[in-house]
Amino acid sequence: MALSGKRILLVIGGGIAAYKSLDLIRRLRERGASVRCIMTKGAQEFVTPLAASAISGQRTHTDLFDREDEADIGHIRLARDADAVVVAPATANLMAKMAGGHADDLASTVLLATTLPILIAPAMNVRMWLHPATQRNLAALQGDGVRVVGPNEGAMAEAETGPGRMSEPLEIVAAVERLLAPSGPLAGRHVIVTSGPTHEPIDPVRYIANRSSGKQGHAIAKAAAEAGARVTLVSGPVDLPDPAGVTTIRVESARDMLAAVEQALPADIGIFAAAVADWRVANAGEQKIKKDGGRLPELALTENPDILATISRRNEGRPPLMVGFAAETEHVIEYAKRKLAKKGCDLIVANDVSAEGGVMGGDRNTVHLVSQAGVETWPTLDKAEVARRLVERLGTWNVGGKA
């Protein structure tokens, strides 16, 4: 199904065409999408939240000041937790609010807060559609990157004929499919990204960890999704939001991470950016370990599975392109070359994580790309730019070590 796994946030405006939105929900779900609805006050004069919820299978949101929703800043969550926003019908009033950046109800606030792709399906009287103000608003929205489907010409509710009819639900669905169609250097590929640290328990309270923030791995997942890939992000414990348009699996330990990666296979590209703990406590306590007269607890360490090497050496299901990361404090390029050979991967992204560099937990990174073709050193860049450049490079990579 063309929209399988896609999450659509449907904003239903207050026009007579709102009745078509119920069929639109059904059509989107038939193609595999999940649909969550926001209804303006005007929309509720034409269709009920109960009807939208019954067809979508999810709660319909109507109030900016809903105590339950706003306990976790609900309008921001709604603005992020989707792959695209569809406004149907997009009334003249709603279009004006969007163009002017107004935020006086839940729908307009979410539309102002979102960074997701937006598709609008205008619906209004022909004279309202042709009014210079509406055309100015339309031009402003298109200039902001908002996609538009329709309106169609035909008979209107006011017994007038002309442009202003909302596009039919199947036309809107086709526009959504075009909006979300993979494009970019990684279009159509499945990319697995690991990110963040792992936590290896000592007892139920304490654990072994490292200073990784997950910022670089999460940035790579986001960039890969923006490049058209279907992305599975396997993340250790981090204080970061899940990237939009990415399937995120949260894990704790190295063994959990390996299991999640194996479950996510097959993939076209594996990018192993997580800072996985090398060791875990073999005899982790089931209860909190107490101080005992100054005697130190005996903690026996054992090696964790090597996720990069394990996946690289698979006979079946190995991603054709395997990218590892090497966080070093000395001899960065020398150790990266050794890791490339030892792990059996195609590319190592190496960096110096010495404390004075501020890479771990920081927003900038200096990386060296090490492959069989040689070493390429990039200047210090924002981690988002490192991610974008890496994804661009991988999009042109020939398996065997040459970009």
The verdict on pTM exceeding 0.75 is no
Tokens of residue 195, six digits: 């990110």
Which CATH class name applies to 190-394? alpha beta
Tokens of residue 78, six digits: 């709604």
Average pLDDT over residues 119-132: 94
Average pLDDT over residues 244-255: 90
| Per-residue pLDDT, 68 | 61
Angle 106-113/92-100 helices, nearest 10 degrees?
40
Per mean pLDDT, which range of 18-32, 186-200, 283-297 is the poorest? 283-297
Backbone angles phi, psi at 21, to 5 degrees: -65, -30
Residue 301 has pLDDT above 60, yes or no: yes
Tokens of residue 137, six digits: 């608003």
User: According to CATH, what is the number of the domain 7-180?
Assistant: 3.40.50.1950
Average pLDDT over residues 157-175: 86
Residue 10 has pLDDT above 50, yes or no: yes
Residues recognised as catalytic: 210
Share of the chain above pLDDT 90, in %: 68
Model confidence band, residue 402 (pLDDT cutoffs 50, 70, 90): very low
CA proximity to 250, closest of 270, 230, 236, 264: 236
Q: Which residue spans of the chain are classified as CATH 3.40.50.1950?
A: 7-180
Annotated binding site for CTP: 278, 288, 305-308, 325, 339, 343
| Per-residue pLDDT, 74 | 59
Model confidence band, residue 25 (pLDDT cutoffs 50, 70, 90): very high
How high is the mean pLDDT of the chain?
A: 90
Backbone angles phi, psi at 100, to 5 degrees: -90, -5
CA proximity to 86, closest of 123, 55, 53: 123
| Per-residue pLDDT, 70 | 52
| Per-residue pLDDT, 178 | 83
Is the model more confident about 76 or about 193?
193
Residue 400 has pLDDT above 60, yes or no: no
Q: Which residue spans of the chain are classified as CATH 3.40.50.10300?
A: 190-394
Share of the chain above pLDDT 70, in %: 95
